[in-house]
Amino acid sequence: MNALSIPTWMVHVSSVIEWIVAIALVGRYAAKAGYGHWRALAWGMVPALVSAMCACTWHFFDNASQLDWLVTLQALTTVIGNITLCLAAWWIYRQSAQPSAPKP
Q: Residue 82 CB: number of other CB atoms within 10 A?
A: 14
Task: Inform me whether the pLDDT recorded for 67 exceeds 60.
Answer: yes
Average pLDDT value for the chain: 92
CB 39 within 8 A of CB 27: yes
pLDDT in tens, 9-44: 999 999 999 999 999 999 999 999 999 899 999 999
| Whole-number Å distance between alpha carbons of 2 and 61 | 9
Residue extents of the structural domains in the chain: 6-97
- Percent share of the chain, pLDDT over 70: 93
Question: Nearest-CA neighbor of 74 among 51, 56, 58, 46?
Answer: 51
| C-alpha of 90 from chain center | 16
Q: What is the pTM of this model?
A: 0.86
| Whole-number Å distance between alpha carbons of 48 and 72 | 14
